[in-house]
Structure formats: structure tokens, C-alpha cells
Amino acid sequence: MGIYRDVILPKLCDLSMRNERLHPYRERVIGAAEGRVLEIGSGSGLNLPFYRPVAQEVLALEPDPTLLTMARRVPYSGLSVDFIEASAEAIPFEDKSVDTVVTTWTLCTIPGAATALAEMRRVLRPQGKLLFVEHGLSPDRGVRWWQDSLTPVWRRISGGCHLNRPIQSLIEDAGFRIDRIETGYMRGPKPLTFMYEGSARPN
Ligand SMILES: C[S@@+](CC[C@H](N)C(=O)[O-])C[C@H]1O[C@@H](n2cnc3c(N)ncnc32)[C@H](O)[C@@H]1O
């Protein structure tokens, strides 16, 4: 289990997240990040090249030290980045101290997703934005059946990823008002590819 979790899983995470079909999502979501940005579960740093100059500072929070090491090697320019080894359930920042929180395909994996979202809300300034793209629960009954059935096994092999998290209600229940949301399938197996992309503000 040690080698799988510590060596193989981070490599699999990096490889799967390099999928080029994710680039348009990264371009839109990361391109809208402004000011002091907190990126949750920054993984192997694949979002770093997508930030624009309006992102003055990026705080890349990631609990996995192997992924953080990979992220430190990603080339990016003109961006101030701090890498922080921490979990989203206990964000080591002051209340109302960031302008944008970004999460890309992390709410499926964070064990305490509701606690993590409450933390994101706590550290966001009142006019700040939560920008997100996540995969999650499908509205189609047949696909949901597969998502519910596969999740117990999928979680074990994928490092904790749930296929069936209700992303919109998780965000709203944490005290956010959704400004914009787009949902739909990306190309690929339907249980894995129902996407929620959008932005929200603290209530
Ligand atoms: C599917 S990867 C996505 C990585 C990256 N956001 C991207 O778009 O390439 C899920 C990420 O969530 C991270 N993660 C898992 N548990 C977490 C937690 N408690 N707090 C923050 N991030 C967590 C994982 O380590 C991993 O980097």
C-alpha cells in the first residue's frame, strides 16, 4: 500500500490530469482568477501555466508531498507562487484574506468536502469568488446508478475519488451563492465525466 499510495498514485494522478480535453476548462476557470489566489489541491501544478497576469499571487495548497515536488518543477513565468503542504479541511490562512479560491477536480477526493468548502468560504473576502470545475453526480438515473455502484471500488484504487458527489448542493450548503454554473458531459465514460463549471460568492 505504501508504494502504491506514495509513488504510483501521484504519478497516475499527474498522468490522468494531463488529459488535453481538460485544457479548455483550465483556460476558462484559471483564466478568471484574480488578485491573491488560493488554489485547493493543486496536485502536480498543471494549472500554473494557465494563470493570467491579473493573478498577482498564487497560494498552491496540496497535502501530498510527492505532487508538491512535481508542481515545483512546472515551468511558469511572471507569477508569484507559494507551495503549501496542507489540507483543505484546515486552511492555514486568516479569515477573509484571499480574493479568489480555485478548485479543479478536487471536491471529488477531499475526504471532508463540506468542511473544506466552509474553510474556503472563511478565507474568502466578502467580494471574493470561488471558481470551480468538478466532476460529480449526473442528473441521469442510469448514470447515477453506475456512479453509486462504482464509487466504493473506484475510491480505493483512485486515492479517494467519489464519482457521485452532488457538487452544486455541496457548494450552496457551505454558504455560497452560485453566480454561474454550466453542467454537461465531457467526452469519455459517462460516470466519470459529468462536469460542473462555474463561479460562486460567499452569501
Ligand atoms: C484529481 S487531483 C486534481 C489535481 C489538480 N487540481 C488538477 O486540476 O490537476 C485531486 C487533488 O486533490 C488533492 N487532495 C486530496 N485530499 C485533499 C485535501 N484534504 N485537501 C486538499 N487537497 C486534497 C489530491 O492530493 C490531488 O492533488
Please give the single-letter amino acid code of residue 107: L
Is the beta carbon of 130 within 6 A of some atom in ligand 1? no
Name the H helices within the chain.
Answer: 2-3, 9-17, 23-31, 65-72, 113-123, 141-158, 167-173
- Burial grade of 185 (CB within 10 A; 0-12, 13-18, 19 or more): middle
Per-residue pLDDT at 2 exceeds 90: no
- Mean pLDDT, residues 175-188: 98
- Mean pLDDT, residues 36-56: 97
Predicted local confidence at residue 77, as pLDDT: 82
Pairwise CA distance, residues 111 & 139, whole Å: 23
Domain range annotation of the chain: 2-202
To the question of domain 2-202 being in CATH 3.40.190.10, the answer is no
Opening angle at CA 160, ends 154 and 162, nearest 5: 60
Distance 11 CA to ligand 1 centre (A): 13
Predicted local confidence at residue 78, as pLDDT: 87
Is the beta carbon of 29 within 6 A of some atom in ligand 1? no
CA nearest ligand 1 atom 25, residue: 64
Q: Which atom of ligand 1 is nearest to the CA of 87?
A: 20
**Mutation probe of ligand 1 site: the residue of 110, 123, 155 with most atoms within 8 A of C-beta:** 110
What pTM value is reported for the model?
0.97
Contact 70, 7 (CB under 8 A): no
Residue 81, strand partner residues? 58
pLDDT in tens, 51-109: 999 999 999 999 999 999 999 999 988 899 999 999 999 999 999 999 999 999 999 99
pLDDT in tens, 150-166: 999 999 999 999 999 99
Per-residue pLDDT at 1 exceeds 60: no
- Mean pLDDT, residues 118-122: 98
CA nearest ligand 1 atom 22, residue: 41
- Mean pLDDT, residues 42-53: 97
Predicted local confidence at residue 171, as pLDDT: 98
Per-residue pLDDT at 45 exceeds 60: yes
Is the beta carbon of 17 within 6 A of some atom in ligand 1? yes
Share of the chain above pLDDT 90, in %: 95
CA nearest ligand 1 atom 26, residue: 43
Per-residue pLDDT at 13 exceeds 80: yes
